Amino acid sequence: MRALALSAVSSYDHGFVVVGFMIFIVVALFLAIMGGPDGDSPEEFAVGSRTLTPFKNGAALSGTYLATTVLLNVTATVALVGFDGITVAVDLLLSLGLLAVLARPLRQSGGRTLGDLFALRFSGAAPRIAAAVATLAVSVPFLVIQLSSAGDVTAQLLGMSSIGAKQTCTVVLGVLVVLCPMLGGMKGHTLVQILSCAVTVVALGVATLALLAHFHGDFGALVSQAAQNSGQHDQYLQPGHAMGTTSLGRLDHLGLQLALVLGTPCMPHILVRIQASGDGAAARRSVRNACFIVAAVCLTLVLLGFGAAAVVGGGAIIDAGTDGNSSLLLIAHSLLGGSTSALGNLLFTAVACAAFLSVLSVVGGATLTAASSIARDVYLHAPRRRQSVPRGEVPVARAAAAVLGCVGIFIAVVLQGASTAFGSQLTMGIAASSILPALIYSLYWRGYNRTGLVWTIYGGTILALVLPVFSPRSDTSSTFVPHVDFAWFRFQSPALVSVPLAFLLGWMGSRMGRSRTTATDERRRLEADTLQLIGAGAERTG
């Protein structure tokens, strides 16, 4: 069956896919170069001079939000587990609600990195170093997962299934992904993200219309057939089956959803995208615009997930890969006459190109953010560099992007074929456990101080990194000590435990460091508080 499912995809005219990819590679590089910064201004390189209109920034934010793993995982979850998959799509939308609240004070604070935000309120190098650590702890695994996942899909689309072919695809994609932000900076990369968003909306919209036409517009028939062909029948439309029906399984699913809602808006590349808006009001309007686009795409993903279960069948999807990530491609392959018609070929190519562009869009953003953080928080503001800066921020950021890209590609190639779901949960867990508590406390709690910040970020990061190692998913016991069971942490996602603990650590750290708070710290807090209300470094963009 697996061979059947894969051969169905590989029976496609690969010429279409190859030509589609080549066209979009050329267009993306062209946009990155033409839209790139005119000079060596760090403000222009890192946040596009903050001149993006809410419409453009909203589209780019949607392009950033709709990662390859989101497109593939949401469709796969709906196709395989039904109702619980819909909740994943809803969680993605709710996370934008949280981002809408954070957007205004974040943008009003100014700054180009997470370190800038913390440095506004806390003195010394420690807050910047902690911010850089959190940024890298989230961005590097994110880079690896997206590249590895994209390498798998690209090889499959080109009709190759060997591990060597997948690794080659990962390397080629990785080079492209690093080139776009290096050449284009924030402005050039924004154009790539807008292109990615447009292609995704159009391709998935057409695929959904084709799916509804396949069922003559009868949504009830689509859902009934999905439930029937999924192999789960009545359970398919009932909640609470994604991670098993035990209390532990249900709590585990809650933890995953919590990580998704709290972690996604706190990914560093999403936070920096907010900084590209003209002012706080424009930042919120960007998020509002992104809400509409992401909601539309999530709706199409849910329908295509049902379509995959109904048309392709749950068994065939699992045979093509236990994680079900082939669902989107398999359903796109089955519509508009499939490989026997030109329209079918075109639709399949469009969906494949949407997945391909989402890699360029999202991974490029993560690389740019991590590189900016290294250049600004570590290199430029490290104590030894304060007096004399031998090189500018932008060349250092470009070099950091190249190094990060190489490291990311190397790890992705080594881990090719490993579970991307585990990595995704890890990344979300780190963002939700370290960055979210630090942001909430920094923006809304007067008693928060430098000790609390350091405890929150390092404590949250360590908890989110260590707990999954002892989860059943990590295979630690079988890998290192075959006869000892280390899997004492029963949840797949650490968020349910690590997020409250990180908040607690922040509170405890602030209590412990209260005696070290000086008048200067209080003055800085007042400055930051005022800045969050009236804004800084802003240019109105309507």
Partner 1 sequence: MLAEMRRVSGKLDRAVLIAVALCFTLTVAPGLVGGDVFAAKVLGTPVTAGFLLCLILALALLWSVDRYDRRCVRSLEPLGPQARDAESTRAGHVRQAPHTLFSRPGDNQW
Tell me the window of 153-161, 239-247, 330-338, 373-381 that interacts with partner 1 (CB under 8 A): 239-247
Calpha distance 423→417 (Å, rounded) = 12
**12 token code pair:** 């496609």
Q: Least distance in Å: CB of 449 to partner 1?
A: 17
Nearer to partner 1, 154 or 257 (CB): 257
Pick from 479, 53, 431: nearest CA to 271? 431
DSSP per-residue string spanning 182-240: HHHHHHHHHHHHHHHHHHHHHHHHHHHHHHHHHTTT-HHHHHHHHHHHHT-GGGGGSSS
Calpha distance 521→121 (Å, rounded) = 7
Residue 296 in contact with partner 1, rule: CB under 8 A: no
One of 121, 187, 376, 450 touching partner 1 (CB under 8 A): 187
Nearer to partner 1, 498 or 541 (CB): 541
Calpha distance 43→34 (Å, rounded) = 18
Cβ–Cβ under 8 Å, residues 323 and 135: no
Beta-bridge mates of residue 534:
none
* 3-class state of residue 493 by DSSP: coil
One of 27, 172, 209, 237 touching partner 1 (CB under 8 A): 237
Task: Give Cβ neighbours of residue 96 (< 8 Å, ≥ 6 apart).
Answer: 65, 265, 287, 290, 291, 294
Residue 116 in contact with partner 1, rule: CB under 8 A: no
**17 token code pair:** 């896919």
Q: What are the C-alpha distances in Å from 491 to residues 81, 208, 333?
A: 19, 35, 35
**315 token code pair:** 């068994």
Nearer to partner 1, 115 or 535 (CB): 535
Pick from 96, 100, 92: nearest CA to 257? 92
Is the C-alpha dihedral spanning 408, 413, 419, 421 positive or negative?
positive
- Find how far residue 456's CA is from the centre of its chain: 22
By CB under 8 A, what part of segment 249-278 binds partner 1?
A: 250-251, 253-254, 257, 261
Residue 476 in contact with partner 1, rule: CB under 8 A: no
- Find how far residue 299's CA is from the centre of its chain: 18
Q: Least distance in Å: CB of 320 to partner 1?
A: 26
Residue 314 in contact with partner 1, rule: CB under 8 A: no
**526 token code pair:** 């007042």
Nearer to partner 1, 257 or 427 (CB): 257
Pick from 233, 286, 225, 308: nearest CA to 59? 286
Per-residue binder mask for partner 1 (CB under 8 A), 512-541, x = binder = -----------x--xx-xxx-xxxxxxxxx
One of 57, 68, 87, 373 touching partner 1 (CB under 8 A): 87
Nearer to partner 1, 280 or 314 (CB): 280
Residue 347 in contact with partner 1, rule: CB under 8 A: no
Site residue total, partner 1 (CB under 8 A): 52
Per-residue binder mask for partner 1 (CB under 8 A), 41-60, x = binder = --------x-xxx-------
Nearer to partner 1, 182 or 538 (CB): 538
Per-residue binder mask for partner 1 (CB under 8 A), 89-108, x = binder = -xx--x--xx-xx--x----
Pick from 216, 190, 255: nearest CA to 48? 190
Nearer to partner 1, 108 or 367 (CB): 108
Nearer to partner 1, 192 or 206 (CB): 192
Instruction: Give the residues lining the site for partner 1 (CB under 8 A).
Output: 49, 51-53, 83-84, 87, 90-91, 94, 97-98, 100-101, 104, 110, 187, 237-240, 242, 245, 250-251, 253-254, 257, 261, 279-281, 284-285, 288, 291, 523, 526-527, 529-531, 533-542
